[in-house]
Amino acid sequence: MPNPKTVKRNLPCKLTSLERSKLLNELAENVSRLNSLSVDKAVAITEFNTQIKSVKEIIASLSSKLETNTIKKPVLCSWKLNLPEKGLKSLVRKDTGDVVIVEEMLLFDEPLKKAK
């Protein structure tokens, strides 16, 4: 039977060489683990940020198409020389007849004019 006057308490004690060695190893392992987790976290954040940016770009593109009610598609067009005036050429949509762009005629446009 234990002596009622004797009690056990957790009190500071000097480490033995073996205890110190074990604690140093455990500390080194946990520091290494923390560094590894920090790198993994940074990689994951970068990957998620890339994915988020990509989805935001898709959302912006879709929103723009819906807002303007248009999408870009290949459309047959033809150059009309001296339109709207002499020395200018117009790119005209074949499907609607709308003028897409007006530019100054260049020297290489002259053969096109003569070929007609």
Using alpha carbons, list the distances in angstroms from residue 9 to 6, 13, 16, 70, 89: 10, 11, 19, 79, 98
Q: Which domain holds residue 81?
A: 77-115
Query: In the chain, how long is the greatest CA-to-CA distance?
Result: 123
Q: How many residues does the chain have?
A: 116
Q: How many domains does the chain have?
A: 2
Residue 8 inside a domain? The answer is: no
Residue 28 inside a domain? The answer is: yes
pTM exceeds 0.75, yes or no:
no
pLDDT tens over the chain, length 116 residues:
667 788 899 999 999 999 999 999 999 999 999 999 999 999 999 999 999 999 999 999 999 999 999 999 999 999 999 889 999 999 999 999 999 999 999 887 766 555 55
- Extended strands (E) in the chain: 77-81, 88-93, 99-104
Spatial distance between the Cα atoms of 41 and 7, rounded to a whole number of angstroms: 48
Q: Are residues 89 and 53 in the same domain?
A: no
Q: Are residues 49 and 82 in the same domain?
A: no
Q: Are residues 21 and 48 in the same domain?
A: yes
Q: Are residues 103 and 81 in the same domain?
A: yes
